[in-house]
Amino acid sequence: METSLHRQLKALYCTEASSQEVRVDGFRIDAVVRGRLIEIQQGSLGALRDKVRTLLDNYDVTVVKPLVARKLLVRRKRAGGAVLSTRYSPRRETVADVFSDLVHFVGVFPHPRLTLEVVLTLQEEHRAPARKRHWRGPDFKVLDRMLVGVESRVTLKDSQDLASFLPSTLSEVFSTAEIAREAALPRWLAQKMAYCLRKTGAIDVAGKRGNAWLYQRAAG
């Protein structure tokens, strides 16, 4: 079922209801604006990979990836029921978190006809107790997610846009540990960033230091 967040983001990018949820070459597209196809992707970018690759043969495409800068968790007794509690989630995403998903999309991005727009959102997530909890699963179900505001948007079009995430304080040759330290990122995310940058030609492998791969910015 479509969330309020998805509907609100569609309206943000396309004000004409008649240009939303249209069919293009057999695909359902979230919106079409001046000939450009707009896809809002809350889930994995990898799920869009084949669809976008096919559409790029004939169309300009913008993929909108919302991240959560701040989320208010609203716990309800049941759907439409009384609010039991509210609290902010401790998880706060930054634009760099896009690399955790981009690793599944670098087979398509970058492309001359493709734009990836990362939107840092303020959200509310409404929950209710789960009727039956699966083993090790959450004790709640998500009723809806809603857009409260937009903190910022970052547009990515090519490998140099990705390379701009590298801290300027890095030495000429660097490891993912150094990316993590200088960018204040967890090591696992720095590793995903390096993977995306290498796959898109923004950085090159420069050797090894012990068991750690070393990288350098690509010439030009």
Domain ranges of the chain: 4-157, 159-220
Q: Minimal CA–CA distance to 110: which of 155, 152, 67?
A: 155
Q: Minimal CA–CA distance to 207: which of 195, 215, 199?
A: 215
- The per-residue pLDDT for 133 is 65
Q: Minimal CA–CA distance to 201: which of 148, 173, 168, 161?
A: 161
Which structure tokens are listed for 56?
């790029």
What span, in angstroms and rounded, lies between the C-alpha atoms of 48 and 50? 6
- The per-residue pLDDT for 41 is 97
For 159-220, which CATH class?
Answer: mainly alpha
For 25: left if phi > 0, alpha if psi spans -120 to 50, otherwise beta; the answer is left
- The per-residue pLDDT for 22 is 96
- Burial class (CB within 10 angstroms; exposed 0-12, middle 13-18, buried 19+) of 90: exposed
- The per-residue pLDDT for 134 is 67
Which structure tokens are listed for 11?
């309206």
Could you tell me the pTM of the whole model? 0.92
Find the angle CA(44)-CA(10)-CA(142) to the nearest 5 degrees. 55
What span, in angstroms and rounded, lies between the C-alpha atoms of 128 and 105? 33
Q: How do the pLDDT tens digits run along the chain, 220 residues long?
A: 789 999 999 999 999 999 999 999 999 999 999 999 999 999 999 999 999 999 999 999 999 999 999 999 999 988 888 999 999 999 999 999 999 999 999 999 999 999 999 999 999 999 998 877 666 667 788 999 999 999 999 999 999 999 999 999 999 999 999 999 999 999 999 999 999 999 999 999 999 999 999 999 998 6
Place of tokens 């690793």: 103
- The per-residue pLDDT for 204 is 97
- The per-residue pLDDT for 173 is 97
